[in-house]
Amino acid sequence: MEKLLEVKDLTVSFDTYGGKVQAVRGVNFDLYKGETLAIVGESGSGKSVTTKALMGLIPSPPGNIEKGEILFDGKNLAKLSEKEMTKIRGKDISMIFQDPMTSLNPTMKIGNQIMEGLIKHQRMNRTDAKKRAIELLELVGIPNAQERIKQYPHQFSGGMRQRVVIAISLACNPKILIADEPTTALDVTIQAQILDLMKDLQKKTEASIIFITHDLGVVANVADRVAVMYAGKIVEIGTVDDIFYNPKHPYTWGLLGSMPTLDNTEEELVAIPGSPPDLINPPKGDAFAPRNPYALKIDLEQEPPMFKVSDTHYAATWLLHEHAPDVEPPESVKRRMKGFAKTGTAPGVDEKKGDES
C-alpha cells in the first residue's frame, strides 16, 4: 500500500500557569492511501492535539511542536509557515470537527460556505463553484440541494448540518480527511447514518481518513487499523481484528472491558480505576502503571518500548517481554472477545435509520 503520511516522534506541549503540559509525547504512526485509521482513548489522551498538529492548528503560544516530523507529499508539515500550511489545509488535508453548529458560520448561507474553499483553492468562478456546491450537497445526501443551498445553518437539523460540514471538507478532494469525533453531538440513529455516509464517500473519493473517537463500538464499524492512545502516547496499534480479538495492552483491555454488549445485558461494566496522570509531571516508567492491576516492578521504573506482536500489531507493555510472567486478559474482556467472534464484529452504533430534516 502507498504510504500517504508518516508521523515520527511527534512531541507537542502547552505552556500554562501551572507549568508545561506535555500533551503529545513521541507519537509515531503511518497512514496509507484509502485506509481509515482510528485513534482512540480517554479525554485528554492527546488524540485531538495530535491531529490538530497535522493540520497546523496548534496555537503558538501557548502550544509548541517541540520535535518530530509530519511527512506528507515530500514536506515536513511541522516546519511549514502558516502561509504554507494555508495552501495545504482544506485542499490536501481537511477536517470535520465535533460540533457542526460551531463549525459553520451562522450568518452565511450554506452555499457560500461551501463555495469559499472552491473559489480559494480550486480557482473556480462563482457560477462553477455554485454548481459544484449543489453536487456536493447531493453527494452527502441532502435533498432539494438547489433550494437548501440558499438556507442558513439554523434551518438544518444536527445531522444535516454535519452532512454540510462533510460536504465542505470534501469540496477540494482532499487526500486526507480528519474526523474529530464527528458523531458525538448527534443522536444514535443519526450517528449510524453519518458513519455509513463516510464509508460510502471514502469508496467514491479514495480519501484516507483519520477517525478520532473514544467509542470503540464506532471504531469496529469504520476503521481498518486502530491506534490506542494513553497519556500522550500510542500504547497499542494494529488492525481492527488485532485490537478486538487479540488485545495485548492492559489499557486496551480496560477499554474493551468497559464496553456494553448486546448479548451480555446483565453483566456489570468494568471501569478502569483511577484517573489519567498529570502531564505537567508525567510519571516515570509506564504512565498507565498506577491504574494497571497487572503492573510489574519495571513498569514503575522504565518506559516500555513498542514490542512487535505481528507484522501489523505492536504494543508498549512489559508484559510482552520474553521474561515477563504469562498474564491473560481478564474474564470480562475474554467474554467480549468471544462475543465479537460469535457475531463476526464488535458492537457498534445502532444500525436503525432515522429521519432527518
Q: Quick check: is 305 in a domain?
A: yes
> How many Cβ atoms from other residues are within 10 Å of residue 177's Cβ?
23
Residue 76 has pLDDT above 60, yes or no: yes
Contact 208, 177 (CB under 8 A): yes
Read off the CATH number of the domain in which 294 is found.
3.40.50.300
- Domain hosting 251: range is 228-343
- Residue 273 in any domain: the answer is yes
Helix 126-139 / helix 110-121 crossing angle, nearest 10 deg: 120
| CB-neighbour burial class of residue 261 (10 A; exposed 0-12, middle 13-18, buried 19+) | middle
| Residue 27 resides in a domain | no
Q: What is the pLDDT of residues 36-62, one digit of tens each?
A: 999 999 888 999 999 999 999 998 889
Is residue 266 a part of any domain in this protein?
yes
Inside any domain, residue 242: yes
The residue with cell 521474561 is 323
Average pLDDT across the chain, whole number: 87
Q: Of 167, 181, 240, whose CA–CA distance to 42 is shortest?
A: 181
Give residue 21's pLDDT band: very low, low, confident or very high (50, 70, 90).
very high
Is pLDDT at 353 greater than 50 in this prediction? Answer: no
Note whether residue 181 is domain-resident: no
Residue located via cell numbers 505537567 = 280
**Whole-number pLDDT of residue 267:** 61
- For residue range 238-285, list pLDDT tens digits in order: 999 999 999 999 999 999 888 766 555 556 677 888 899 999 999 899
- Position 193 in a domain: no
DSSP 134-164: HHHHHHTT-SSHHHHTTS-GGGS-HHHHHHH
User: What cell numbers appear for 154 in the block?
Assistant: 439554523
